[in-house]
């Protein structure tokens, strides 16, 4: 079967982002996963300083580019600056370091990983704790971080910039002072956390939305999340000859988001991209909407109460 052609959307002038991508994390199999994904038709690969896998991904990209399997302009590579590099000059340094690890001349999209800063103790100590056991955060304003992001664009290190794990008010603050507006926000988004208000807000500001953890954290024994095991969703899947997972990924695309499912399993990687030959009806979309509980899996709880945290204190009750 031919690998699917993934449609692209222009997220800012002359920058076209594929509608689905491969999410990655710190896993030994990430090199294989990246290889399988590119072979299956994926062009968007999402990584980050935090994931400690840029070197592994870089090796595969170099191999695929030198074999001529893909051209650089067909790929869409995303990375993120971590919280201990929130000072303006550190952002540029971090971006250059990511490029070096990925063996690339430029990124397609560079994101601020989250809204609050932490102090640098040493490389790879991403969550440094003080002696009293509290996360060693700082008050570097993400507006300063944003100036560093803009510098990365001006220096040609990245084609576009954005944010991850930010809220509407924080985006408004950036929009009110920026030279270059964010082209994308990457947030947790799935049927249990549909983020409708944020989607609407971002649409009004021309900010595309990438969805991490798009199918939650599936657990076959516990049959969770419920939407992957629900008879109504399984009925929709049967109608289209798809799986519940494929239906949920399609749902996110139909809601206007760009899902980046994470997998290191070849069959699942191939199945996850096979969602462009059907579309859900408004009724089917509202069935899946009904699973929303505003339930978050990723909260960065250790920084709760920080003045730049993207979640209000009541989110941690």
Residue 309, annotated as binding a ligand: no
pLDDT at 3 over 90: no
Q: Does 317 fall in a domain?
A: no
Mean pLDDT of 258-284: 98
In a domain, 142, yes or no: yes
Span 232-246, mean pLDDT?
Answer: 99
Give residue-wise pLDDT tens across range 261-272: 999 999 999 999
Assigned domain for 147 exists: yes
- Based on the residue annotation, tell me whether 51 is a catalytic residue of this protein: yes
Q: Are 116 and 308 in contact (CB under 8 A)?
A: yes
pLDDT band at 189 (very low <50, low <70, confident <90, very high): very high
Instruction: Specify the pairing of strand 137-138 against strand 117-118.
Output: antiparallel
152 located within any domain: yes
Annotate 218-287 with DSSP letters as a single string.
Answer: -BTTTTBSGGGT-HHHHHHHHHHT--HHHHHHHHHHHTTEEE--B---HHHHHHHT--SS----HHHHHH
Q: Are 269 and 40 in contact (CB under 8 A)?
A: yes
List all residues 6 or more positions away from 235 whose beta carbon is below 8 Å from its beta carbon: none
pLDDT the model gives residue 317? 84
DSSP-derived pairing of the beta strands 8-12 and 15-18: antiparallel
- Predicted confidence (pLDDT) at residue 130 exceeds the cutoff of 80: yes
* 215 within domain boundaries: yes
Alpha-carbon separation of residue 140 from 32, 170, 177 (angstroms): 37, 14, 16
Indicate if the pLDDT at residue 293 is higher than 80: yes
DSSP label at residue 158:
B
Whether the pLDDT of residue 4 is over 90: the answer is no
Q: What domain range is 300 assigned to?
A: 8-308
DSSP summary character for residue 307? T
Is the residue at 145 inside a domain? yes
Mean pLDDT of the region 9-19: 98
Overall average pLDDT of the 269-294 stretch? 98
Q: What is the 3-state secondary structure (H, E, C) of 287-301?
A: HHHCCCCCCCCCCCH
* Torsion angle, alpha carbons of 200, 204, 208, 214, to 10: 0
- 314: in domain: no
Residue 9's H or E segment, with its range, is strand 8-12
Give helix then strand counts, H and E, for the chain: 10, 12
Return mean pLDDT, the chain: 98
CA distances from 126 to 85, 115, 123 (A): 10, 14, 8
For residue 218, CA distances in Å to 135, 222, 224, 243, 293 come to 29, 9, 6, 13, 16
> Is the Cα dihedral 230, 236, 237, 239 positive or negative?
positive
pLDDT tens for residues 160-181?
Answer: 999 999 999 999 999 999 999 9
Q: Please, which residues have CB within 8 angstroms of residue 260's CB and are 6 or more apart in sequence?
A: 20, 21, 22, 23, 44, 46, 186, 210, 211, 212, 214
What pLDDT is attached to residue 2?
72
Does residue 231 lie within any of the structural domains? yes
Q: What is the CATH number of the domain that holds 50?
A: 3.20.20.100
Which residue is catalytic, options 42, 51, 84, 227? 51
∠ CA 235-225-301, nearest 5°, is 155
Between strands 208-212 and 184-188, the pairing is parallel
Q: What is the pLDDT of residue 1?
A: 62
| Span 16-70, pLDDT tens digits | 999 999 999 999 999 999 999 999 999 999 999 999 999 999 999 999 999 999 9
Cα(62)–Cα(87) distance, integer angstroms = 30
Cα–Cα nearest to 87, from 109, 59, 119, 62 = 119
The answer to whether the predicted template modeling score (pTM) of the entire model surpasses 0.95 is yes
Domain count for the chain, please give it.
1
């Amino acid at each position: 079967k031919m690998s699917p052609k993934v449609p692209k959307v222009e997220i800012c002038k002359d920058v076209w982002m594929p509608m689905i991508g491969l999410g990655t994390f710190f896993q030994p199999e990430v090199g294989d996963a990246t290889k399988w994904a590119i072979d299956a038709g994926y062009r968007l690969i999402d990584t980050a300083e935090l994931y400690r896998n840029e070197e592994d991904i870089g090796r595969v990209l170099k191999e695929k580019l030198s074999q001529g399997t893909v051209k650089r302009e067909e790929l869409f590579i995303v990375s993120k600056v971590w919280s201990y590099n929130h000072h303006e000059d550190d952002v540029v340094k971090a971006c250059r370091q990511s490029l070096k690890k990925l063996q690339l001349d430029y990124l397609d999209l560079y994101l601020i990983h989250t809204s609050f800063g932490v102090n640098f103790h040493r490389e790879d100590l991403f969550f440094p704790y003080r002696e009293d056991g509290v996360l060693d955060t700082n008050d570097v304003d993400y507006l300063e971080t944003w100036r560093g992001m803009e510098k990365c664009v001006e220096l040609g290190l990245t084609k576009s910039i954005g944010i991850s794990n930010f809220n509407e008010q924080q985006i408004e603050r950036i929009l009110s002072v920026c030279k270059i507006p964010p082209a994308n926000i990457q947030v947790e988004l799935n049927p249990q956390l549909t983020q409708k208000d944020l989607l609407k807000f971002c649409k009004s500001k021309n900010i595309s939305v990438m969805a991490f953890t798009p199918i939650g954290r599936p657990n076959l024994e516990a049959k969770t999340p419920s939407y992957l095991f629900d008879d109504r969703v399984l009925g929709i899947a049967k109608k289209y000859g798809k799986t519940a997972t494929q239906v949920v990924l399609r749902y996110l695309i139909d809601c206007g988001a760009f899902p980046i499912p994470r997998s290191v399993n070849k069959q699942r990687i191939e199945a996850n991209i096979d969602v462009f030959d059907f579309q859900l009806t408004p009724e089917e979309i509202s069935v899946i909407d009904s699973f929303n509980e505003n339930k978050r899996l990723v909260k960065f709880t250790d920084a709760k109460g920080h003045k730049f945290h993207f979640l209000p204190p009541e989110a941690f009750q």
